[in-house]
Chains A and B, each alone.
Chain A
Amino acid sequence: MAKQHRPIDIDHGVALPKTPTGIDGLDALTFGGLPTGRPTLMCGSAGCGKTLFGMTFLVNGARRFGETGVFMSFEERTQDLSVNVASLGYDVDALVADGKLVIDHVHIERAEIEHSGDYDLEGLFVRLNHAIDSVGAKRVVLDTIEALFGGLEDTAILRAELRRLFAWLKDKGVTAIITGERGDGQLTRYGIEEYVSDCVLLLDNRVIDQVTTRRLRVVKYRGSAHGTNEYPFLIDEEGVSVLPITSAGLAHPISHEAISSGVPGLDAMLGINGFFRGSSILLSGLAGTGKSTFGATFVDAACRRGERCLFFAFEESPEQIVRNMGSVGIDMQAHVDSGLLKFEAARPSLYGFEMHLARMNRDIERFDPSVVVVDPISAFRGPSMEIHATLIRLADICKSKGITAMFTSLSGATDQMSEGERSVSSLMDTWISLSNIEANGERNRILYLLKSRGMNHSKQLREYRLTNQGVEMVDAYIGPDGVLTGTARVVQETREREAGVVRQQAINRRRRELARKRAAIEREVAERLSALEAEESEVSMMLEEDETRERTFTDERTRMAQLRGTSL
């Protein structure tokens, strides 16, 4: 057997060369991809997507990195394979025809084979070598080599040969993915992780509460740092995508720019005349408080500024939202048509949280919006820890990209905060609470700002109305009996006005009475004064008379004395 020796950098101080898989998230969490020239074991139970992962590795290699590949299938036949991966948009047959890919189906039927004496697997080596050399392949996928254990009796020979095969692959210098079925208590059913130990990826498909989530974990990666967590990944018509959460740091750039909520009254309540760009906004409220309408208004305002918006709808279909928002005067269809607005709708129960997150992350990456609306986050049902983790990451993704994100959340009628709200409250920069007030046979809507970081915001409760021109803020009546809204507010205002009139009248009456009293008293004083004067004049008259009499008397005495005086 001709062997091509190619040195592999292990002992040198150089960084381990890596081969990108073209699966963005995976390349990010392995810091570049799989180890070049070494085999990587990818294990997982049935239905984890091992084959699709392998095929994606090869197809991306051929299409994007100019590296040809060999897919050696031990399970699926060539034609089945190409049909199966066609659902991911891979035209395998074309790649084969172009000489960029070789697919070899190795089929062993135990019942057809008689064993007589010693043998080895040189035939497999010959086939693989021929396939690799025929297209100059740099990438090899062996899927699932453990199938050989079902076809051949002598496991001792098989193990020795597999060990030799993996060493041979290394010597050959191809970057290989070897898939294996998950076994009990070990990574693979036949323990081949013993032989392939440079890089081990574990795929998992877990069902929690009837919802399946696929996860990937890098178990080991010799000579390289790697993300150690379990990462959700997604297989759909767009291919495979892994969501790395390692980026969830707190180092995102911030903005001082304010962007309008689309409701002038609400902007006025926010200290900076809008939200900070890149902030997260939570809109919580009961059913029918207009959460979606606020979201749509925000989107409408952003689209009018010419910004791209992504609307994740988990409760209504896009058509329904467009129709309903038409009733409050928002023409969302126009924005959809202009390409500024994109709806992504899915039932929350369709995937697990991780899956939703992975999908949303991918949509955000592709569409590159500046505004994202998630309506509503409360649609996610499940363990609060998972909801929390999912939302943290979603909020973080948005923040790291400078996207202003608005999340709506349906509150329960009884409890103050729903599970989802409690868990995300600390993540949100602005929290707007919407509620209904039921009184006097009608329902009115009020909102207030529960919090808004970094701005001096209004602390008032405000009434708002959903009119056919959109959301309209109204000054709420705040009086001694609390906040009054709607008709009650109008009634109270009328009542206030009437009470004012009555008070005014009472004051006027008192004033008139006082004037009257003053006049009466003044009159009385005048009368008394005149009486006093009369008395005074009488007294002085009497005094005069008295003096006169005295004088007369004295005169008389004097005269009489004179008369007699002659005789005095």
Chain B
Amino acid sequence: MGPKNATPAEEYATDEEVVAAIRSLSAADLIRLGKYAAYRARALFGLGMGGDDLLQEAIQRTVKGTRRWRRKKVKFVTHLYKTIKSVSDHAGDELKGGHVVAATAEDSDGRLDGVALLSHIMDPECAAAAAEQVAKIEKKFASDTEVGLLLDGLSKGMSGPEIQQDLQISVNDYETIMTRLRRGVDRERGWRP
């Protein structure tokens, strides 16, 4: 007998329901998802993952059952956002800690293979590439004080509301500056982040 609060199997989506949900996503949903995954992947600098890798990983976990979709309780697109965030947060924590734990073994395609990843993230060339990218962004916004202050806040680990409070700006102002930052970053690589 399972635990009292176990989710009944019928609440989880079948493969066919997952496929149907993918087919029903709107153009805006798909573009937003693609951009979201691409940014999350870029946040994992050093892993060599792209946005498509995160999208694939989210779907594979859903279908394989390691991160199932409760179709009646959660919108499919929300499930994907949460799954992508979970995958990237987990990988990001490992990057930050400078080590790889066994949990990434479920990413069985070899991209997150422990030894290879460990040697890659400790690679001085990788660190230099990250520094170069930061310098490029700083240079791009050198004349934009507001974006510079926002970047400072982010690099100190501050949340959006904390930055708003620190800079004494409204939510709208914050969003406007973020949008300027985002568009500027996107322009570096064409429309795809």
Q: Do A and B bind each other?
A: no
Q: Give B residues with C-beta under 8 Å from A.
A: none
Q: Give A residues with C-beta under 8 Å from B.
A: none
